[in-house]
Structure 1
Amino acid sequence: MTLLPILLVAVVLVFAIVRPRGLPEIVIAGPAAVVVLLTGVVTLDEAREELTSMAPTVVFLVAVLVLAHAADALGVFRWVSQILQQKSLADPHRLLIYVFGAAALTTAVLSLDATVVLLTPAVIAAARSIGASPRPHSYASAHLSNSASTLLPVSNLTNLIAFAATGLTFLHFTALMALPWVVTIAVEYLIFRLFFRSKLVRSENTEPPASETSSPAPSLPLAVIGLTLVGFAVSGFFGIEPAWIAVVGASVLGAIALARHRTTAAKMLYAADLWFCAFVLVLGIIVAGVANGPVGEWIAQILPGDTSYGSLLFVAVVAALASNLVNNLPATLLMIAALGTGAPPGLVLAMLIGVNLGPNLTYVGSLATMLWRRVATSAGAPPTLATFTLLGVITTPLTLLAAVSALWLVI
């Protein structure tokens, strides 16, 4: 029975990578969860506890996907694409700078799902409009959806899961993670400039983009998004889960989009990607079989309990490796259980750096990367495994080292 949950996790993740015939991940994850329950690897009580703990996270995911869809329907990301084109001055290098800024801010404020689902097509369109290869800019969206998601408790589902374990307030969490966030983005940018230097050129046969009249900023949608972010910041003072703030924001912006006939209820439901959300829940049950077994016990034994530089780096590396083995959401649950209650906040934050930056190494490292593959392919710029892996091998160790060093300096 010890090997069964490990094998099931492997099968589910391989299926998630390949996605034969475009089938959703739940097609294999559902039966795998039934197997772990029928064999007693995970009890019904453990499964119920897992679903209960993951429910707010999944509610948040649904709300943010709907919020991002409504923002897109109301022209927010079309406006962003226009700004990127204008500010780039038809220079691919300059466009990359603005893409990094847009991706970092979108990830931090609207969460990584908005970056991969909605900013990626805007970035690809902006690159093509100036006759540049969309590849560097598309990969930047993917990487920053992970590595720029450390700033706010609401920037990533992993942050939401671990936030309570830190014992920190929203603002204190943000203050501690600000320097690691900035350092990580800077290191990523320098590597991208070197790695894609041959791609950051315009096609010789491409005419300069025609100047277009600037469309006004979608002020009302931007205001709703801003108020939603404020709601996240103050929710902790009132004991309100960030997920419910996201639900309110999504409801308001969705109602505006519906009233203006910019979308339909069916499109909003499709944007929620309920099959994918079900996969998130089911995956937690499958991985619980690993967390509750010898593997989880072994990880708990090897993790340190102090916040020395070596300990922070070790926890981040273990978390990064775990995220690439079982995906970053289950890895977060596994690591929190292994660290135990009362773990120093610094260790929990180091773990978050690992599970957020580590997924840039492989396709299965994060749910965001899986979504990005679909979106980029649909936008006509399919990623390649070789490029993604090579870029990840270079960036992941360096960003982990830089971010942990910054965290150590802060705490």
Structure 2
Amino acid sequence: MPVSTLLRETVAVAALLALLVTAWRHLGPRGEAAAALLTSAAVLAVGAVSPSDAGDALERLAPVVLFLAAVLVVADVCGRAGLFTVAATRVARFAGDSPVRLLVGVAVLATVVTTVLSLDATVVLLTPVVVAAALRRSASPAPGAWLCLRLANSASLLLPVANLTNLLAVPDLDVGFLGFARLMAPALVVVVAAEWACARVQFRRELRPAATAATAAAVGTTPAPDPEATAEEVPLARLPLVVVALMLAGFAIGSPLGVEPGWIAAAAAVVLAVWAGRRGLLVVPDVVRAAQPSFALYVLGLGVVVAAVATSGPGDAVRHLVDAVVAGADPAAPGLLTLLGVAAVATLVANLVTNLSATLLVVPLVAPLGDTAILAALIGLDAGAGLTYSGSLANLLWRRTLDGTAAATGLAAFHRRSLVATPIVVALAVATLWATARVLG
């Protein structure tokens, strides 16, 4: 191998590792921005990626980053308006003194928030509220917090806008917004049921009445005998609900017209930011912080670096792995084993280099097999990303959000639970997708 080639590949891999470490260590906005700029400059400087390829990567990512920034503002305003608190309070009221019913309510709530406002809202904004609601009920906060994380990844299957990985794959898909939802809806139902069942079994001790009493003693409270009397009443702001509903409708209407979801989300973000500003809920710097421009820059830098890695040794390894899995598959109708193999590869790569990086590597390779294969890959990239902390940036955000709280989860416990649940969920989701594709033709 020529020295120049070795240098290019070494720099590309080192740049990707540097970005992954940045995510793991959470170096803050300045650290994220600096890492994105330095690594992108490095791979361009040594020729690991050409300016034209880097430009193509940025062009592909630009609409995704616009959507990301806008939906983060939408979610932030919803949080400031108390929507998550109201929802969690009503779930707690529904549950009464039953931890199992509380877990059912959390599953429904986490699925809705993930589907409508994306997985980051579930991890950063909903999870702390669910933890607080559980503690108010003198229940262990761990089951609800865990299910929020699991469904932040797994429940992002339904809509293209629920996960950045889905948006990155949309250009390779031949289905619109509603077509995506139609194919993935049965898989979502199966996934949510499977995630709830796994959490119910894995946290069976915490969900017993005796555990509720122990939690009450630990936090210095007693179980509430009357949920109606103790549920915290929070006024419900209706405009954010209306705007979010219109935003979703806009996604469905705009998709066949070629309107990028980012522009629709941006319009919703502007309306909500103005509304919240007039009510004193935020000021302009709050809007900028909510949009997380440093993270948007990080995603763009990641795209440039992954474009460099795709033409290096690791990229070739992924290509050979995908080729081995899809060898002999019928492009018109890939079989169940092929789809399971695609999802397994996507899961593996996602947990090595995060699902955002894996999407850019894997999806173009399976695209020749058609929509069903791409959707199977997304199951691995979404639900499969919960296998390890490194599988999804949402996993790392969840860990930081709960650090130091009663719901914090250690590395051993995290991986012990996820290594059991993730293969079950991914396999069931892929089998359901395969069956759905056969029925719908």
The answer to whether the superposition gives a TM-score over 0.5 is yes
Equivalence for 2:388: 362
Equivalence for 1:383: 409
**1:70 touches 1:253 (CA, 8 Å); kept in 2?**
yes
Amino acid at match of 1:207: T
Paired-residue identity, %:
39
Distance (whole Å) between structure 2 residues aligned to residue 324 and residue 170 of structure 1: 27
Equivalence for 2:3: none
Match runs of 1:4-403 below 5 Å? 4-19=11-26, 24-200=31-207, 201-202=211-212, 203-205=215-217, 206-209=221-224, 211-212=230-231, 214-300=233-319, 301-304=323-326, 305-306=329-330, 307-340=334-367, 342-377=368-403, 381-403=407-429
Provide, for residues 110-131 of structure 1, a one-character-per-residue CA deviation record: whole Å limited to 9, x for no partner: 1111111211111111111111
**1:312 touches 1:404 (CA, 8 Å); kept in 2?**
yes
Question: Could you list the runs of 4 or more consecutive aligned residues of structure 1 that deviate by over 6 angstroms after TM superposition?
Answer: 20-23
Residue segments in structure 1 that go unaligned for 5+ positions in a row:
none
Distance (whole Å) between structure 2 residues aligned to residue 25 and residue 267 of structure 1: 19
The two structures have a TM-score, normalised by structure 2, of: 0.88
Distance of aligned partners of 1:132 and 1:346 in 2 relative to their CA distance in 1, 3 Å threshold: same
Aligned partner of residue 262 in structure 1, secondary structure: coil
Provide, for residues 65-89 of structure 1, a one-character-per-residue CA deviation record: whole Å limited to 9, x for no partner: 1000111111211211211221120
Report how far residue 51 of structure 1 moved. Answer: 1.1
Distance of aligned partners of 1:380 and 1:21 in 2 relative to their CA distance in 1, 3 Å threshold: farther
Distance (whole Å) between structure 2 residues aligned to residue 23 and residue 37 of structure 1: 21
**1:287 touches 1:326 (CA, 8 Å); kept in 2?**
no
Report how far residue 393 of structure 1 moved. Answer: 0.5
Residue segments in structure 2 that go unaligned for 5+ positions in a row:
1-5
**2:346 touches 2:377 (CA, 8 Å); kept in 1?**
yes
Report how far residue 260 of structure 1 moved. Answer: 1.2
Distance (whole Å) between structure 2 residues aligned to residue 198 and residue 155 of structure 1: 32
The two structures have a TM-score, normalised by structure 1, of: 0.94
**1:303 touches 1:338 (CA, 8 Å); kept in 2?**
no
**1:24 touches 1:276 (CA, 8 Å); kept in 2?**
no
Distance of aligned partners of 1:21 and 1:272 in 2 relative to their CA distance in 1, 3 Å threshold: closer
Distance (whole Å) between structure 2 residues aligned to residue 247 and residue 77 of structure 1: 21
Distance of aligned partners of 1:213 and 1:57 in 2 relative to their CA distance in 1, 3 Å threshold: closer
Distance of aligned partners of 1:273 and 1:374 in 2 relative to their CA distance in 1, 3 Å threshold: farther
**2:58 touches 2:300 (CA, 8 Å); kept in 1?**
yes
Distance of aligned partners of 1:104 and 1:168 in 2 relative to their CA distance in 1, 3 Å threshold: same
Aligned partner of residue 148 in structure 1, secondary structure: helix
Provide, for residues 19-72 of structure 1, a one-character-per-residue CA deviation record: whole Å limited to 9, x for no partner: 469974444443222221211111222111111111111111100110001111
Report how far residue 382 of structure 1 moved. Answer: 3.2
Between 377-386 and 83-92, the greater mean CA deviation after superposition: 377-386
Aligned partner of residue 230 in structure 2, secondary structure: coil
**1:116 touches 1:145 (CA, 8 Å); kept in 2?**
yes
Distance (whole Å) between structure 1 residues aligned to residue 232 and residue 301 of structure 2: 48
The CA RMSD over aligned residues, in Å, is 2.0
Distance of aligned partners of 1:379 and 1:318 in 2 relative to their CA distance in 1, 3 Å threshold: same
Distance of aligned partners of 1:5 and 1:369 in 2 relative to their CA distance in 1, 3 Å threshold: same
Distance (whole Å) between structure 1 residues aligned to residue 152 and residue 77 of structure 2: 19
Between 167-176 and 196-205, the greater mean CA deviation after superposition: 196-205
Amino acid at match of 1:182: V
Distance (whole Å) between structure 2 residues aligned to residue 318 and residue 3 of structure 1: 23
Report how far residue 380 of structure 1 moved. Answer: 6.3
Distance (whole Å) between structure 1 residues aligned to residue 76 and residue 245 of structure 2: 16
